[in-house]
Structure 1
Amino acid sequence: MADQDTNTQQESQDPSFSLQRTYVKDVSLEMPNAPQIFLEQEAPSVEVSINVSGQQLADTVYECSVTSTVTTRISDKVLYLIEATQAGIFEASNIPAEQLDPLLGIVCPTMLYPYLRANVADLINRTSLPPLHLAEVNFQALYEQRLEQLAAEQNKNDSGIVLPPGVTRQ
């Protein structure tokens, strides 16, 4: 009987991570120059930006969002603009603090991105324009790039003087 209690306690202390739900948080499609732009013969240029964000909802519950903005232009006219945010609710318990940020910044977006890609492809398909499929994204590289940018900003603003907690620079 004591072994069962020990096993139950051990299981409750083991790290656990799971995806609880995925959902479209926001989506918009704009075609501001239709129908005249359909007469253009040039190939469109495509610009894609990706952003990852997250927040803690409860003690062990987190929301992660991946936002994509796709702007397609012919010359200087917008053919279409798509903004889509795919979100998910994740449960993460007993995860060491130093592993939680990479989990939310790399693993969660990697799990959500295929849903986002499918939603964007579906929106474009509904415009009757040629399909566009978003390329794969290396979220680990994006995460590391973000860390380097934060470190560079911190070093740029750092005068080398270490202040005690609670004291601000003037």
Structure 2
Amino acid sequence: MAESENGATQPQQPQQAPKMNVLAQFVRDLSFENILSQKGAGGDVQPDVQVQVNLDAKKRSVENQYEVVLKLKVDSKSKSNGAQLFLLELDYVGVFNIENVPEDQLHPFLLIECPRMLFPFARRIVSDMSRDGGFPPLNLEMIDFLALYRAEIQRRQAATQAEASNAPTQ
């Protein structure tokens, strides 16, 4: 109970739980290049698959709406000779309505919880595209978006410190 100016006690407002609704999700950009077939090569190859993940989030003009982009770049090369097998790039977008998230927690919420909601759909697209492109379906492992977020924060802090230590003194 909180005390008001006149000394009476009033119940405190309970903090409302965060609320998130997915309003839309869609493929913004998708590219798949089957380089192995373009070169006329074939046969049984052992792939070395590298996956790059980038995230972007921005406020939309409508109150409480945010756009989150999960960008995946999948680069597959042959383990034996390093020849390019295929290249897949996907920008998968989610539009979210987010309420009751404190301002200081909004950035991590957008870059951890929202991509976590989008990932299963993007994963299915990657699997379908690699299969439809002539390769076995590529089932991406789960991504730890919390670890990814923390690593990016540490990278930015290190870059800021390096920039500050390299600044000329007067």
What band does the TM-score fall into relative to the shorter chain? 0.7 to 0.9
Q: Quick one: which of 119, 126, 133 aligns to 2:132?
A: 126
Cα distance in 2 between the residues matched to 1:53 and 1:72: 24
> Structure 2 stretches of 5 or more lacking a match?
1-12
Q: Does 1:103 align with 2:109?
A: yes
Change (3 A) 1:18 1:79: same
In the alignment, is the contact (CA less than 8 A) between 1:64 and 1:88 conserved in 2?
A: yes
The alignment's C-alpha RMSD in Å is 2.5
1:157 alignment partner, SS class: helix
What is the CA deviation profile of residues 71-130 of structure 1, one whole-angstrom value per residue up to 9, with x for unaligned ones? Answer: 111223211110011110001234211110011010000000101000000001112322
Distance between the aligned counterparts of 2:17 and 2:143, measured in 1?
30
- Aligned identity (percent) is 30
Q: If the length of structure 2 is used for normalisation, what is the TM-score?
A: 0.80
SS of aligned partner of 1:122: helix
Aligned to 1:28: 31
Q: Contact 2:32 / 2:133 at 8 angstroms: preserved in 1?
A: no
1:48-93 per-residue CA deviation (whole Å, 9 max, x = no partner) reads: 1111111111231100011111111122321111001111000123
Instruction: Give me the whole-angstrom Cα distance separating, in 2, the residues matched to 1:107 and 1:64.
Output: 10
Matches within 5 A, 1:53-68: 53-58=56-61, 59-68=63-72
Task: Give the direction of change, closer, same or farther, for the CA distance of 1:152–1:38 in structure 2 (3 Å limit).
Answer: same
Gaps of 5+ in 1: 1-9, 162-168
Secondary structure of 2:67's match?
Answer: strand
Shift in Å, 1:15: 4.6
Q: Which has the higher helix share?
A: 1
**Contact 2:33/2:88 (<8 A) preserved:** yes
